[in-house]
Chains A and B, each alone.
Chain A
């Protein structure tokens, strides 16, 4: 089998052995959930419920507040008990709606559209929008926006992202093994919505069984194809995946995949799209890997959105040693969070627990100019030079060197022998540069 890839990148050990063999297990719905109003990129959703209201599972509780926004739904039935600031999976506090369960899990009425494949694209998109779907791979871009590219940018290819290049995480892998057919349905629906003739599923080489299974499912449809990809981080980054699968380069400085005729969706998002169009089911649950060496029984859990992380860890039998770090997401791009109060959000693909030794805090030294960061940067940037310019407050220079092209994959900081926090410096630079742009002196 030939594997495709992109230039640059790193090879961290994948650590997927902890949870790879664990079939998706449904965690009983919790006594309370916390539904954040910002689970996506864009403006926060607007609550339409107040404290004391009774809600059913799947009921709309917050509306989209604009085009780049999504609605939110109750993930359990019960009573709205609080609208306040709660811990967010990114580690800070943000406004969210708390629902206390009535233990009934009483659902809103769903449908089963027999002929869902032949709905009009606009009807399909309406259902996706109404289901509150955003990208489930982590970035959380509102899905319907991605499905509505500018009219002058025809789409010919839909790529499903089944790469899951973050170490430890196995949620997408299990989903492909267990719900391959639904993923294919989702892919076909996306192709209809954007009028693409080709559907591609990108999967990394360390999941040979998923590659084989999905290839089997694509076999009788010439429009569909599995593209096996080299085991390399960040193979699942959007631009790198597009390049590997199509040899097209998304223009830098804010270019979108639609500029090269491509739409990328995560495999989990594809399943959510399928369920939204066929059943009108809102996005109120997802699969999340709870893993790490010290998690007693690492699992892939199907959890209601809003389930506190602490319940996930309890359900996995707790920890065998004191935790050194909690990571919301994967260990390369995820957020270290101060406690397990934060809830599962639509983009939560993993909860990784490190022991005290794995949680290292390395001292920054002077740059050696070894250029390893330059060699691994998948965006062909010079990370150390960017960081140096940010440190020296030479933001304009940093911007000229491609500050905003950084996809913060962390490959540079991963290899830096001087342990320079390159991503943090570059992110700091982006914020400061944006401020400087807004308030020119």
Chain B
């Protein structure tokens, strides 16, 4: 009998996972958020998303050709970076913004370090930081309200005052023309709050009313379903949670980073989130969890393999670190939102965290 059999080292079984499977599953998990974006803002959201993905794939293929290494774009990792980048842009942005951003993310964020697995910081977030630094107005102006909703998520202005426009045009402009986190940031500005008081008279705490408006149950519902303004990918908490559940169930992401990230934000915002004059309320941490890019960041960015710690303890530290930084930036920083910079900063600490948290071998004897 002639045997033509494979002789290879154990184990001879494999769970059939692969890099393409991982990456395309993450892409799949991002689809619900995209559907929500198209529902609220129309097909421009889809177009911008695809442009980011295609630009990333094209850039990666071009660089790999120049580097004379195998072209690996079919593994889905470049496409994933591209659409994650687009998810950080609002649906009203010019078409070339995601194209340039994704190209930068792949070229400078990933390929210069040697490609997949070797990049120190999240490429998509680096691309976003690059766009924000280069075209700040394009990135932060021109938000559009969702179809049938309000930019602020406050669909019932009566919550604040039945005739807000008449009481304070400034307040009215704020709650109709800004995203929830922008409103929250404005309410931390004492000059602005004083001007509201001047408008409304001392016997009406307008700041507190607006704050109640953005943390009201109906507003929180809008935040959850996505009936608010924001970036393409961050709009619907509900859609993001569907994708996150898929990834957790498929064992593609691990629970520690998202849990500790979101948990830290929840705890800190509960204790420090109230504006002066209003008390503790569970609606404040819920508001912070549901708004901005936190859900997108916690489940899809802070779980990026290459740029986050490998040790279990390290992942807990990473999650807590992201949470603390996010809250610090939201409460005392110059930006209304801090998710992406928090993750980028913690990415930089990843090698240090890993080195300090190497687990003890099973049965380690104390010396």
Residues of A that sit less than 8 Å from B by CB: 7, 10, 12, 91, 167, 239, 243, 249-253, 255, 310, 322-327, 331-340, 352, 354, 359-362, 365-372, 374-375, 378-382, 384-385, 401-402, 405, 408, 410-411, 413-419, 421, 423-424, 427
- A368 and B5: CB pair below 8 A? no
Q: Decide if A371 touches B310 in the complex (CB within 8 Å).
A: yes
B6 touching A359, Cβ below 8 Å? yes
Q: Number of B interface residues, CB 8 Å?
A: 42
Nearest-Cβ distance from residue B358 to partner chain A, whole angstroms: 7
Interface residues of B in 1-44 (CB under 8 A from A): 1, 3-15, 17-19, 21-22
Question: Are A382 and B21 interface neighbours, CB within 8 A?
Answer: no
Given A336-B6, A359-B5, verify A415-B17 contact (CB < 8 Å): yes
Instruction: Quote the shortest CB–CB distance from B124 to chain A (angstroms).
Output: 16
Asked if A325 contacts B117 (CB within 8 A), the reply is no
- A414 CA / B13 CA spacing, docked (Å): 6
> Shortest distance in angstroms between A416's beta carbon and chain B's nearest beta carbon?
8
Q: How close is A198's CB to chain B, nearest CB, in angstroms?
A: 21
In the assembled complex, the CB of B310 is this many whole angstroms from the nearest CB of chain A, namely: 4
B149 at the interface (CB under 8 A from A): no
At the interface, yes or no: B276 with Cβ under 8 Å from chain A?
no
| A371 engages B305 (CB within 8 Å) | yes
Q: Which of B45-53, B193-201, B359-367 contacts A (4 or more CB under 8 A)?
A: B359-367
Interface residue? B100 (CB, 8 A): no
Contact A239 B10 (CB under 8 A): no
B115 at interface by CB-CB < 8 Å:
yes
Q: Are B360 and A380 in contact (CB under 8 A)?
A: yes
Q: Decide yes or no whether B306 CB sits under 8 A from chain A.
A: yes
Q: Which of A7, A167, A336, A427 is within 8 Å of B8, CB to CB?
A: A336
Residue pair A417, B11 in contact (C-beta under 8 Å): no
Known: A333-B11, A336-B7, A368-B305. A417 touches B18 (CB 8 A): yes
Give the CA-CA distance A132 to B360 in the complex, in Å: 38
Selected from B4, B15, B19, B358, the residue in CB contact (under 8 A) with A365 is B19
The reply on B259 being an interface residue by CB < 8 A is: no
Q: Is the interface of B mostly helix, strand, loop or mixed?
A: loop
Give CA–CA (A372, B11) in the complex, Å.
Answer: 16
Task: Indicate which residue in B4, B12, B19, B115 contacts A334 across the interface (CB closer than 8 Å).
Answer: B12
With known contacts A384-B310, A385-B310, A417–B5 Cβ distance under 8 A:
no
Distance A78 CA – B61 CA, assembled complex (angstroms)? 68
Distance in angstroms from A354 CB to nearest chain B CB is 7
Q: Which residues of chain A have C-beta atoms less than 8 A from B268's C-beta?
A: none
Contact across chains for B7 and A375 when beta carbons are under 8 A apart:
no
Residue of B at shortest CB range from A323?
A: B5
Taken together as a complex, chains A and B put the C-alpha atoms of A12 and B362 apart, in Å, by 22
* CA of A51 to CA of B145, assembled, Å: 93
Which residues on the A side are within 8 Å of B311 (C-beta)?
371, 374, 382
Is B118 in the interface zone, CB < 8 Å from A? yes
**A166 → B minimal CB distance (Å):** 10
The reply on B73 being an interface residue by CB < 8 A is no
The CA-CA distance from A340 to B2 in the complex, in Å, is: 10
In chain A, what residue has the closest Cβ to B253? A370
Cβ of B216 under 8 Å from chain A: no
| Chain A proximity of B307: nearest CB distance (Å) | 8
B312 interface contact, C-beta 8 A: yes
The reply to whether the CB of B116 lies closer than 8 angstroms to some CB of chain A is yes
The 9 closest A-B pairs by CB, nearest first: A410-B11, A371-B310, A249-B363, A402-B361, A252-B363, A370-B305, A331-B12, A424-B9, A417-B17
Chain B residues with CB under 8 A of A250: 363
Q: In whole angstroms, what is the CA distance A3 to B116 when docked?
A: 40
**Contact A405–B14 (Cβ < 8 Å):** no
Question: Closest residue to A352 on the B side, CB-wise?
Answer: B12
Contacts A12-B15, A249-B363, A361-B8 known; 10 new A-B pairs at CB < 8 A: A255-B365, A331-B11, A332-B10, A336-B9, A336-B12, A359-B6, A370-B22, A371-B305, A375-B312, A415-B15
CB neighbours of A327 from chain B (8 A) = 12
By a CB distance below 8 angstroms, the chain B residues around A361 are 6, 8
Q: Do B306 and A333 touch across chains, with their CB atoms under 8 A apart? A: no
Verify A379–B361 contact, CB threshold 8 A.
Answer: yes
C-alpha gap A401/B358 in the complex (Å): 8
CB distance from B71 to the nearest CB of A (A): 14
Q: Would you call B362 and A324 a contact (CB within 8 A)?
A: no
Contact A369 B7 (CB under 8 A): no
What's the Cα separation between A239 and B9 when bound, in Å?
A: 23
* Contact yes or no, B7 A337, CB < 8 A: yes
- State in angstroms the CA–CA spacing of A49 and B315 once bound together: 62
Question: Is there contact, CB below 8 Å, between A417 and B22?
Answer: yes
Q: Judge whether B254 and A251 touch: CB under 8 Å.
A: no
User: Smallest Cβ distance from B350 to chain A, in angstroms?
Assistant: 9
- Pairwise interchain contact A10-B7, C-beta atoms closer than 8 A: no
A380-B19 contact given A12-B13, A369-B310, CB 8 Å threshold: no
Residues of chain A with a CB closer than 8 A to B12's CB: 325, 327, 331-332, 334, 336, 352, 354, 359
Query: Which one, B22, B251, B308, B365, contacts A251 given CB within 8 A?
Result: B365
A10 pairs with B9, CB closer than 8 A: no
CB contacts (< 8 Å) of B360 on chain A: these are 380
Are A167 and B13 CB-contacts (below 8 A) given A252-B362, A365-B19, A374-B312?
yes
Tell me, in angstroms, the Cα distance from A357 to B162 when the chains sit together. 71
CA distance A354 to B3 in the complex (A): 13
Kindly name the residue among B1, B6, B17, B362 whose own CB sees the greatest number of chain A CB atoms within 10 A. B362
Docked complex Cα distance between A372 and B15 (Å): 12
B residues near A414, Cβ cutoff 8 Å: 11, 13-15
* Set B5, B117, B310: member contacting A326, Cβ < 8 A: B5
Known: A336-B10, A337-B7, A417-B17. A382 touches B359 (CB 8 A): yes
Which chain A residues border B6 with CB–CB below 8 Å? 324-325, 336, 359, 361
Question: Are A336 and B5 interface neighbours, CB within 8 A?
Answer: yes
On chain A, the residues within 8 Å of B363 by CB distance are 239, 249-252, 255, 379, 405
- Could you say which residues of chain B place their CB within 8 Å of the CB of A411? 11
A243, A333, A337, A414: residue with the most chain B Cβ atoms closer than 10 Å: A414
